[in-house]
């Protein structure tokens, strides 16, 4: 890992570098594994970046959903306030003298119309909140795929180090298999599967 101007090596990093630079004269196989490991590490870094990006997007979309939910709640509160005013006007209509009844009937009609518009706005905001929630969930699903792909590639790198140290072919084949699985899962993430 790099950060702050220094580089920290894992135990397998030294072995990979040593095998790549100081392998036996006829040991080109170790060099090939080192090259494959570098490729796997590069692809893994790209997958890790995509995983972080999708996780950040999921958080932003969830935030947008919360904002829309708050706006919808505000609209519903406004709707409730208009309902209360309409109810008071209906009560006043029953209690008012004949000369004031026309005024309260107009008020009741106005509140009913305003409530209809407010209700439409609140329902629209609720739908927008649901849409943002769905986008967030989709991004989190994709994030999990990227994370799975990255994990598989990290395991493949560890297997490469073990294969170099033990010189066991079956470990090397395992490395290729896990790396292939990681790439397949990464492609699935890229295709939003």
pLDDT of residue 1: 46
Determine what percent of the chain is predicted with pLDDT higher than 90: 69
Residue 137's pLDDT band (boundaries 50, 70, 90)? very high
pLDDT of residue 25: 47
pLDDT of residue 32: 87
**Which residue ranges make up each domain of the chain?**
29-190
Residue 11's pLDDT band (boundaries 50, 70, 90)? low
The torsion angle over the Cα atoms of residues 46, 47, 52 and 57, rounded to 10 degrees, is: 100
Determine what percent of the chain is predicted with pLDDT higher than 70: 86
Three-state SS annotation for 78-125: HHHHHHHHHHHHHHHHHHCCHHHHHHHHHHHHHHHHHHHHHHHHHHHH
pLDDT exceeds 80 at position 8 = no
Task: Give the pLDDT mean for 51-78.
Answer: 95
Residue 30's pLDDT band (boundaries 50, 70, 90)? confident
Could you give the CA distance from residue 68 to residue 152 in angstroms, rounded to a whole number?
38
């Amino acid at each position: 890992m790099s950060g702050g101007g220094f580089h920290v090596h894992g135990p397998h990093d030294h072995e990979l570098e040593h095998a790549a630079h100081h392998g036996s004269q006829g040991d080109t196989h170790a060099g090939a594994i080192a090259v494959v490991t570098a490729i796997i590490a590069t692809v893994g870094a790209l997958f890790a970046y995509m995983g972080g990006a999708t996780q950040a997007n999921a958080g932003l979309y969830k935030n947008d959903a919360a904002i829309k939910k708050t706006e919808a709640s505000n609209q519903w509160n406004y709707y409730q306030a208009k309902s209360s005013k309409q109810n008071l006007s209906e009560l006043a209509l029953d209690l008012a003298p004949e000369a004031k009844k026309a005024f309260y009937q107009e008020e009741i009609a106005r509140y009913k119309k305003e409530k209809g518009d407010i209700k439409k706005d609140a329902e629209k905001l609720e739908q927008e909140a649901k849409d943002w929630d769905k986008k967030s969930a989709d991004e989190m699903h994709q994030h999990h795929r990227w994370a799975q792909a990255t994990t598989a590639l990290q395991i493949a790198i560890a297997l490469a180090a073990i294969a170099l140290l033990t010189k066991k072919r079956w470990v090397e084949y395992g490395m290729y298999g896990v790396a292939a699985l990681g790439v397949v899962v990464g492609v699935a993430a890229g295709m939003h599967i």
